[in-house]
Amino acid sequence: MTIAITAKAEGLGAEVDLRFGRASWFVLYDTETKTARTVDNRQSLNTASGAGIQAAETVSREGARCLITGHCGPNAFRALSSAGIKVYNGAAGTVADAVAAFAQGILKEASSADVAGHW
């Protein structure tokens, strides 16, 4: 299974970005092969609105089934749910920390958006 983690830089050592739509990078971690690759999302900085929806399209296209991030707004949550992607909020530290917390079941699956749009 592939999980996407919002990140401020590339790779597992990067700090988790608390934003989803406007995170600079998405680290995609494969839980079977235990390997990671990084997708560039910096174009979102030029988007006035709809960044969360666009980001949901990106992680869906990359095959993610779960998203780990800090917070998730209503449009992004709706798009992710439609794509069947589960959302885990409240991550912190490095991407590797977040993956470990996810594996230990510390992160809880969100049932709705936890912040308003453009928080």
Residue closer to another protein by CB (options 35, 49) is: 49
Residue closer to another protein by CB (options 12, 79) is: 79
Residue indicated by tokens 């095959």:
63
**Residues in 23-62 that interact with another protein by CB under 8 A:** 48-50, 53-54, 56-57, 60
CA nearest neighbour of 70 among 2, 13, 11, 8: 8
Residue closer to another protein by CB (options 23, 80) is: 80
> Minimum distance from CB of 54 to another protein (Å)?
5
**Tokens found for residue 23:** 């995170």
Please tell me the count of residues contacting another protein according to CB under 8 A. 15
> Minimum distance from CB of 14 to another protein (Å)?
26
Other CB atoms within 10 Å distance of the CB of residue 71 = 19
Q: CA-CA distances (angstroms) from residue 84 to 20, 60, 93, 97? A: 16, 9, 26, 24
Residues forming the site for another protein (CB under 8 A): 48-50, 53-54, 56-57, 60, 75, 78-80, 82-84
